[in-house]
Structure 1
């Protein structure tokens, strides 16, 4: 590895992050670095803290304590205006697409750019067609409404919207949920291509181990709000960590226990 890369600060640095809801600890001292240009995958069961961690980084939720830095800048100490600026540099693919049913596809894709008055509607329509082509959809799909699309097409439109502003950080929330294995692999391939083309840093949370290995460079596992393992995504199925091995192989027996919801 280039020496200059090893000395560069991480794109995202998280230190001793805590978040509780009442007496329930959801994040319990999370610390991790996400190097610039890396695709970082976070795995863990339901309630492990993955989504809350993502929301804290996005600025949609405020942690109780700890720090989050982007390019060395303390996000939590930034002004509301600066946080909005930082958030505008992040693209997000939501788990269920989160498309606006009342808007045509082209307007969904360029929604953020239109909201910020960065494009005229005429220019936005043409730009949407070009972005749709990047995710393997014909520009004519832009005239359809989300209800007219299959699940796989909706995911592609969601990805097109995520990359529309050419963000330097991309977040993916369960990108293959609800898709068959072949379409899941297609979406993963598009994610990898888009991240590489933009040169972005990506964070994905997923339960899909095949997806995690396809899109991830590095991976980490959360359990009960704690970071229990971090390593190469390629080693997820043979990590040597008891928590990771039980989770990735779906074993009933191991250190991970199911708790009754109260």
Structure 2
């Protein structure tokens, strides 16, 4: 092997880039309850990755661990090859500033007008002056199909679908490298859910971001996902193309995606 060449890399070639997000052997428990039990996952740059699973399967806990809102008991989380968990505080903050998040119920601040909700993160990090924030918010709102004049309204004056769009606008306002979506179509009718999914796909492609979404909505999962995985009892039990979710060949995945009462999951619930 040529000196300085990584194992498995031919001399004169560039080693492959690390995944945008790499998770290895992640564990998290609350008392005796194991929520994450050795989760390992790679998400490539520019990929839209969907995680499905039932209530209590560990989806939200996994997302919170990646976001830094929760500390895992063991394992590693890397962004661009850098271990977030062992990085100094200033580096963790810098890495997390490159993340945008669409929360399940939009999680808008009721006391702030829409324009201030959209630019909240930028204002908090002094990345944007209040003088320019209103104009910037208007341009971001236009990207999610809302008139800039909506920026002067308050969240209570918006429909559920409009609130979700504002939440998406806030998530993309800083043009983040990574986007997270927590049940993006919850509470929406099927047509508005499809509209939000379309906006998510457009925004992710325009930004070139890497995205992770957790959802129970199988139609949504297939619309926004390139790849998908299923969490069950704290473990990743299946991973593949999002387009194959409905015909995975895995009995657990098939039961979940088709909503069948009978199957391995139901059998365990009866014990």
**What's the TM-score bracket when you normalise by the shorter of the two chains?**
over 0.9
The number of equivalent residue pairs is 257
Alignment equivalent of 2:76, drawn from 52, 67, 71: 67
- Aligned counterparts, 1:13-24, within 5 A: 13-24=22-33
Tell me what 1:78 maps to. Answer: 87
- Deviation of 1:7 (Å): 2.6
Tell me what 2:203 maps to. Answer: 194
1:45 aligns with 2:33: no
What SS class does the counterpart of residue 75 from structure 2 fall into? strand
Alignment equivalent of 2:122, drawn from 113, 123, 146: 113
Shift >6 Å, 4+ stretches: none
Alignment equivalent of 1:27, drawn from 33, 36, 45: 36
Tell me what 1:98 maps to. Answer: 107
Tell me what 2:182 maps to. Answer: 173
- Aligned counterparts, 1:102-251, within 5 A: 102-251=111-260
What SS class does the counterpart of residue 158 from structure 1 fall into? helix
CA-atom RMSD in angstroms = 1.4
Alignment equivalent of 2:67, drawn from 55, 58, 65: 58
Per-residue CA deviations over 1:69-113 (Å, capped at 9, x if unaligned) read 000001110111211111110000000000000000000000000
Tell me what 2:8 maps to. Answer: none
Per-residue CA deviations over 1:35-93 (Å, capped at 9, x if unaligned) read 00000000000000000000000011110001110000011101112111111100000
Q: 2: CA distance between counterparts of 1:5 and 1:43?
A: 35
1:10 aligns with 2:19: yes
Judging changes above 3 Å, is the alpha-carbon distance between structure 1 residues 250 and 75 closer, same or farther for their aligned structure 2 residues?
A: same
What SS class does the counterpart of residue 203 from structure 1 fall into? strand
Q: In structure 1, list runs of 5 or more residues that go unmatched.
A: none
Q: Name which one, 1 or 2, has greater alpha-carbon Rg.
A: 2
- Deviation of 1:119 (Å): 1.2
Q: 1: CA distance between counterparts of 2:233 and 2:192?
A: 31
What SS class does the counterpart of residue 184 from structure 2 fall into? coil
TM-score normalised over the length of structure 1: 0.96
TM-score normalised over the length of structure 2: 0.93
Judging changes above 3 Å, is the alpha-carbon distance between structure 1 residues 44 and 115 closer, same or farther for their aligned structure 2 residues?
A: same
- Deviation of 1:259 (Å): 4.6
